[in-house]
Structure 1
Amino acid sequence: MNKNASKRKEQLLRATYQALSVKGFSAVTLQDISDYAGVSKGVTNYYFKNKDDVLYQTLEWVTNKIYHDDHTAISKETTAMNKLRTYMLSTFSTPKRNRRVYKVYLDFLAQAVHNPRYLEINNQFYENCWSIGREIVSLGIKEGVFYSQDIDNAAITIRTIIDGCLTQWLMRDNEKLPNRDQLHDFYRKICFEAIVGFLTNENPKKLSILEEN
């Protein structure tokens, strides 16, 4: 695929992602996707076989982008605790971004239960997330700041806590709340504290998410 075609396809994937965040999996149509992309439906049909194909590729694109952003962020840090702080800041980037991400992601998870292709993508996403966790935990054990434990299980637990906190935040995210964005910060804080407590078995409240070593 040439450069122009790649850019057009990414434009359509971004449009699909936007349409899904507004309309949801069941309601979105190829015409909606085309409208959000500002192209004719014929262009969308040229790049994708059908609705399932564009949704499948959108899920793959979104999850790969999330992993790439998170891994790029932690790669700039040199200590385990700073990598963990940066991971929290990356996963809890902004309320606006996470509203869109988790609305779409949870919609896909509901479909993945009955769709092996979606499930395969999600399993790869988890493997990528766990690789970040393993990197952080392994370094923390080497530095002596995390207790020695099963690294694979620790990596799974880290992502479980993150997804649990973000899912619960989304379910409580109400436009009428006066402190709507503060709720996002609250869940980021308790997520960080829970993970630090799990990895160190210490009181995490003395470790601010933005505190430098």
Structure 2
Amino acid sequence: MKKKAEERKNQILRAAFQAMSVQGYNSVTLQSIADHAEVSKGVVHYYFKNKEDTLSQLLEWLTNKIYNYELASVNSESTPLGKLKAYVNSVFVAPEKNAKFYRVYLDFLSQAGQNETYRKINHHFYQNCWGITSDIITSGQKTGVFEQNINIENTSKTMRAIIDGLLIQWLMNEDINSHQYYKETCYQSFLDLLKVN
């Protein structure tokens, strides 16, 4: 019974993601989320208190999902450079997926100034991301692949800023095919930052 409830909740969250990617934060409603999930509005209300509760849980669900995917990709590799490459590949996953996520994510960030819950969820997401890159840097320093004097905390934050900056630039670019260029630029920027030996 619990598993079925979890599946239904995830179905609604996927629908909320779809609805928000099409309509945007301000226009999405519980009814449009219900329509995308092909359930009644009452079913949405059963699992979520209101629109803000639904969207807060959506942001948390989305960022956790992304973090877990990136972590699994990195952990599937054994060498520091393999981990770094896997991380970039998992971040620049595919044009369609990146575009959909960042359209929704930027909508959330535009609300974060007035919404402490969103800020907290995003900070937790960033801490998770910094954790991934910190582990990659530590592993590279131990094996002598990366510069020893790098400040791990600062460099991890810079790496996340590079990712977001490049993906936002790519999203604003008319040329959808430039995704590969931005992915390669990200990887090269990381190599330069980490001063690969």
TM-score range, shorter chain: over 0.9
**Which residue of structure 1 aligns with residue 127 of structure 2?**
127
Q: Does 1:187 align with 2:188?
A: no
For structure 2, the 5+ residue unaligned runs are none
Structure 2 CA distance for aligned equivalents of residues 74 and 201 of structure 1: 18
Residues 48-85 of structure 1 deviation map (CA, whole Å, 9 limit, x = unaligned): 10000000000000000000000000001011101000
**Which residue of structure 2 aligns with residue 16 of structure 1?**
16
**Which residue of structure 1 aligns with residue 159 of structure 2?**
158
Task: Give the match's secondary structure for 2:53.
Answer: helix
One-letter amino acid of the structure 1 residue matched with residue 19 of structure 2: A
Equivalent residues, number: 196
Percent of matched pairs sharing the same residue: 48
Q: Are the counterparts in 1 of residues 12 and 44 from structure 2 also a CA contact under 8 Å?
A: yes
Residues 104-133 of structure 1 deviation map (CA, whole Å, 9 limit, x = unaligned): 111100111110011000000000000001
**Which residue of structure 2 aligns with residue 86 of structure 1?**
86
Q: CA RMSD in A?
A: 1.1
One-letter amino acid of the structure 2 residue matched with residue 166 of structure 1: L
Give the C-alpha shift of residue 157 in structure 1: 1.0
Residues 165-212 of structure 1 deviation map (CA, whole Å, 9 limit, x = unaligned): 00110111x3xx4xx22x00010011111111111167xxxxxxxxxx
Q: Are the counterparts in 1 of residues 85 and 187 from structure 2 also a CA contact under 8 Å?
A: yes
* Runs of 4+ with >3 A deviation: none
Task: Give the match's secondary structure for 2:141.
Answer: helix
Give the C-alpha shift of residue 143 in structure 1: 1.1
Give the TM-score normalised by structure 1.
0.90
Give the TM-score normalised by structure 2.
0.97
Structure 2 CA distance for aligned equivalents of residues 130 and 188 of structure 1: 19
**Which residue of structure 1 aligns with residue 32 of structure 2?**
32
Structure 2 CA distance for aligned equivalents of residues 24 and 47 of structure 1: 22
Structure 2 CA distance for aligned equivalents of residues 165 and 185 of structure 1: 11
Q: Does 1:197 align with 2:195?
A: no
One-letter amino acid of the structure 2 residue matched with residue 147 of structure 1: E
Q: Does 1:95 align with 2:90?
A: no
Structure 2 CA distance for aligned equivalents of residues 199 and 92 of structure 1: 19
